Amino acid sequence: MSKENPTLLSKVVSISTVFVNKKLLSHIDLDAPMFIAFSQTFITAIICYIKNVLSKIYPNKFRFPDVDVWDWHTMKAILPLSLLFTAMISSNNLCLKYASVTYYYIGRSLTTVFNVIFTYLILGEKTSRRCILCCAVIVFGFWLGIDQENVAGSLSIAGFTFGILGSLSLSLYSIFVKKVLPKVNGEVWALSYVNNIYGTIILIPVMALNGELPEIYNYTKLLEPYFWIIILIGGLCGFLIGFFTTLQIKYTSALTHNISGTAKACAQTVLATYFYKETKSFLWWSSNLIVLVGSAFYTWVKQIDMERRHRENVIYQKV
């Protein structure tokens, strides 16, 4: 599979997932965002398990990597990533619960900035001044967007907070996926399987602490087919976005994933304003454009810096 394919598929699936999750979190009268996250990780784990079983029954038609979910070394390697994964999907769902889809782009726009910070703190990679300037532009666009949401009276403090936490956890998750994949021989299916099993287990006490178990038990539409159909669709979307996100990071980089996510969010914002028939001010749209331009220039500058370092390494090796 080429690098372009997982990137494009990740964008399409991600946009679909956001709209489905917004439907789940705002239009089914169930105040249980962690349960929605739990259903997504659980369904993904079931899909991986079925493919694993089929690979044993029909080895000529199906293939699944050999991975021991309960092996101590596997748990030690992947459990920290699973905690980040759980934090990422939980904060995403909570951001969507308290904020609109149109705000989601601005709320999550700091991912690139966090990526620069954590790439330096974790990997020790320094960033050029031009990249830092681009990050400053993104932060300005973020600030302007928050200001315009406040002026319009649609700013949610909870949505703002969980948007920042979502950006932070996504940035860390993207970096750690690249580090953890070699521990499962680069197998995306294996990482998805283990990650979602651990995530499902982690989310059970989280649901309890969030007071969602009585909410689910007393939900009047729990036995209606429509509820479980929309839950299943959300779970399938969660599976696809997790799989293609990991695939994209494997074939490209955490940077590419974060930048393509920003471009995706821009298209998502335009679709959301049309779909929900929302009218936004000129300055609000300007904030989105500033974030997009800052992210685009960051990508361009980062690419130039990487090519320069590559040439310097080639020259050094020849000497």
CA nearest to 233, candidates 16, 45, 32, 29: 16
CB-CB contact of 93 with 37 (8 Å): yes
What letter does residue 62 receive in the DSSP assignment? -
pLDDT at position 200 is 95
* Residue 54 falls in which region: left (phi positive, over 0), alpha (psi -120 to 50) or beta: alpha
CB-CB contact of 81 with 208 (8 Å): no
pTM for the whole thing? Answer: 0.80
Cα 307–310–311 angle (5° rounding)? 90
pLDDT at position 164 is 92
What letter does residue 211 receive in the DSSP assignment? T
CB-CB contact of 175 with 119 (8 Å): yes
pLDDT at position 137 is 94
pLDDT at position 253 is 59
| DSSP, residue by residue, 213-265 | HHHHHT-TTTT-HHHHHHHHHHHHHHHHHHHHHHHHHHHS-HHHHHHHHHHHH
Radius of gyration of the chain (CA): 20
pLDDT at position 254 is 54
Round to the nearest angstrom and report the end-to-end CA distance of the chain: 37
pLDDT at position 57 is 92
Spell out a b/e string for 266-297, using b for 16 or more CB atoms within 10 Å of the CB, else e: bebbeebbeeeebebeeebeebbebbbebbeb
Could you list the mean pLDDT of each consecutive 10-residue stretch along the chain, which spans 319 residues? 51 70 72 88 91 90 86 89 91 83 77 87 83 92 90 86 90 85 85 92 92 87 83 82 67 59 66 74 88 83 74 61
* Residue 186 falls in which region: left (phi positive, over 0), alpha (psi -120 to 50) or beta: left
Cα distance between residue 238 and residue 18, in whole Å = 10
CB-CB contact of 204 with 38 (8 Å): yes
Cα distance between residue 301 and residue 33, in whole Å = 38
CB-CB contact of 272 with 101 (8 Å): yes
Owner of token pair 């000529």:
60
